[in-house]
Amino acid sequence: MRTAPSREQTVGIEYYYSDTDGTDGQLRVRPADFQVQELETVDPESVDSPTGDYPHVLLRVTLSEWDTNDFAQRLSNDLEISRERISWAGTKDKHAITTQLFSVARIDPENNALFSIPNADVEVIGRIGRSLQFGDLGGNGFEIHVRNATDTTVVDAITAELHTHAMDSNHSQGEENRDPLSRGADEVSITVPNYFGHQRFGSHRSITHRVGRAVVRGAWREAVLQYVANSFESEPKATQRAREFVDEQAGSANPDWEEAIERMPGALRFERSMLHRLNAADASIESDAETWRHALMAVPENLQQLFINAAQSDLFNRIISERIRQDIPIHRPVVGDIVCFQDQNSPTGVKRADPTRTQLATERRVDIMRQHCERGRAFVTAPLIGTKTDLASNTPGEIEENVLAEYDITPADFDRPGAFNSTGTRRAMALQTDISTKIGVDRAGEDYDDIENYLLEFKLPPGAYATAVLREYLKVNPAKL
């Protein structure tokens, strides 16, 4: 098995699923190189429908070089409405061309402000009776150009390896169907580990999972210092020195938090907010846990929840990696696994798991559950740990329990105040998708300048990371993904 780069290993991503050397290359050289389109599941009423029954105007928006949150703020400013009246189904990458849905409550659909934002193509498509909720989409379709690859000849070999994982347990497939590449198939079924991408934990400073692990253990002081005092070499020197000063003061009997605030760059407003609370409380190394928890709660609730989500994601990644290390399949069950069934509302081309419909793979039922997984009707899961998360049994359960024990965490530890609480769920360990690969051809079918560029097209369910697929092909430092 091929080992992942050390930076990925820090967030539990320890292995590749393919052993073939990667292509290397660059992503997002141009915004059009990375295109994402939501697979829509919302069926709106006519824009002329009664506003009392359907107060939310539904927009289909194509954005270039816009962060989703920043665009929503710009939209609220231009419409002169509260930001709370704007909702969307999924957050998208800024360095891309993205097409997604937004709902806006109680506005005139002909308001010129809708259509005057730079790099935003807005289409009014109807009305709905409620605001969009996070996850109100069937998935995402991706068209991704990889440029300046060092070796495109390995693309087919990588695809073949990932296809083997998709087919190695499917006894119902004849040999003639096991190598679609040799038959010139437009799309090939592949399987990759459903890892949470490195960006889940902070693209430049991967600390959110460390903060979250400290929170669930009730180590509030450690959580604050992980966020404020943990310096990274990738940061500016002044920022590194400011964080090191905070670390020094945290170990002092009489910390100078006022000086720490003065040294912390103004752009790091969350760090400064925590320090202001520590200063107001005159917090020292002996301060009680409540003082440090109050400091951590200076950040918005969505960031508080992100800390917990990141801790869950890191543990999930580590469970997948341990199964791969032990050569236990992640795409078909063994005795003790908890399997969930496919979402019956999955759109065409997307294999989406429904974690509310689960079943234990017992000795008596494991074979039939394996058949369901082979046909894409079910998925082997691992836990996103929370207070109500069921753990697997037998060997899968031992792996889950050992990973938790390594970090001194139990499901009950997620019973924390406010946004730090989580009941948990389970998530499919493997991503299955059909992929199209084209070397030296762009999305319009025109030739590239040379063959050191290639195009990948695939669809993924909500919450899945395109980097889970891309990393298998490029095999580069995650910073390049």
Residues known to be catalytic:
93
DSSP state of 440: S
Beta-carbon count within 10 A of 35 CB: 19
Tokens of 4: 């992942």
CA distance 408 to 388: 18
Judged on CB neighbours under 10 Å (0-12, 13-18, 19+), 450 is exposed
Both tokens assigned to 92 = 């998208």
Task: Read off the tokens for 357.
Answer: 């419909």
- CA count, 13 A, side-chain hemisphere, 410: 2
- HSE-up (13 A, CA, CB side) for residue 366: 10
Structure tokens at 208: 């959110």
Give the CB-side neighbour count of residue 76, counting CA atoms within 13 A. 15
d(C-alpha 316, C-alpha 141), whole Å = 24
CA distances from 248 to 27, 225, 240, 454, 455 (A): 40, 11, 12, 50, 50
Q: Which of 334, 335, 338, 354 is nearest to 346 (CA)?
A: 354
- Number of Cβ atoms within 10 Å of the Cβ of 411: 19
Geometric angle at alpha carbon 80, from 77 and 83, rounded to 5°: 60
Task: Write down the residue that tokens 């069926």 correspond to.
Answer: 43
